[in-house]
Chain A
Amino acid sequence: MLFFSFFKTLESKLVTIELKNDLKIKGVLHSVDQYLNCKLQQVEVLNAERYPHLLAVSSVFIRGSVVRYVHINPSDVNVPLLQDASRREYGEGRNAP
């Protein structure tokens, strides 16, 4: 759930998603769901010479299961907050019945 909430804070930010087939797609994160399926808008394919058919695409839906990396601008991430949140989540998990 932590990563889902984290990705929700990245909505409307510029991200680059790298897929398991090395395709890199840069775009504005429109929305994300519990499986981390992502939807990007204002899409730009970074290695378009290998994927020419993607030139005509304006917005993409990417299934979470094919994502390898999500590149994020460091200024969009509040690291101390994220650390706090993961500690809290871990603590809750340990104390859970």
Chain B
Amino acid sequence: MVLFCSDIGVAIFSICFFSDPDSSTALHFEIVPYLRKRRSTDYTRKLSAHIYKELNGCSHSVLRCDMTSRGGRGPSGRSEETTQSGSGAIKLPGAASLYEQLDKLVLVCLRDGRNFFGWLRSFDQYANLILDNTVERLTVEDSYADVPIGIFVIRGENVMLLGEVDEERELNVGSSMKQVTEPEIRRALAAIKEDRAARRRGEKVEWPIPEEY
């Protein structure tokens, strides 16, 4: 698993995950420098972050981040306390800010128009994503069906948008749209496809007739 973490615009680190077998609540992560700082080659920083997995809701929050520098400028220890999406959290730019969505229900829209709902488990600087308990949402007009597809790894280039889902609002959406079973929605999709194909072959006229006629 790789998590993306930026040293405030200086370097990018990838994190190797070592779970601590002694403790069920704390995971110890070793952070290895992914890119060295360009200005000084011996600038290698070793970070270790203690990421605690909260028991309720299974959410990760970086509670402490120690940075020590080896060589170069001498030790510069730093300790930061952040909680996810808290007001005091460090604001990481762009893709790194996805850490706020870790272990939250997210909606991922792909470039080909498919939509997935799942729990974001991991990501990296390219917005490659790992979704857990994923469902693909198939929509036809005002009816939809959720097709469970388990764990899903998405290559970043296909991601169009990732949205954090407000679960309360999601329930309200359910009232405006009708949930149907997967075979029903598949039939509806097949009908649409067949309809389009028939029109293309000229067996069926579009109604209302397009204005250019």
Contacts and interface: CB of A to CB of B under 8 A. Distances in A.
Given A31-B93, A60-B162, A52 B177 contact: yes
Contact of A58 (B91, B162, B166): B166
Q: Which 10 A-B pairs have the closest CB atoms?
A: A33-B94, A57-B163, A56-B170, A37-B94, A60-B163, A56-B169, A33-B93, A61-B162, A58-B166, A66-B160
A37 B163 contact: no
Contacts of A57: 107, 163-166
Interface of B: 91-98, 101, 107, 109, 111, 113, 115, 127, 137, 139, 142, 144, 156-157, 159-167, 169-170, 172-173, 176-177
A16 to B, nearest CB: 14
14 contacts: A21-B111, A30-B91, A31-B92, A31-B93, A31-B97, A33-B96, A35-B94, A53-B173, A56-B107, A56-B169, A57-B107, A60-B161, A62-B160, A65-B157
Contacts of B144: 53
A38 interface: yes
Nearest to A25: B161
A95 B107 CA distance: 47
Contacts of A23: 161
Contacts of A55: 169, 172-173, 176
A92 to B, nearest CB: 18
A38 to B, nearest CB: 7
A63 B161 contact: yes
A32 B176 contact: no
A40 to B, nearest CB: 9
Contacts of B96: 33
A17 to B, nearest CB: 9
Contacts of B164: 57-60
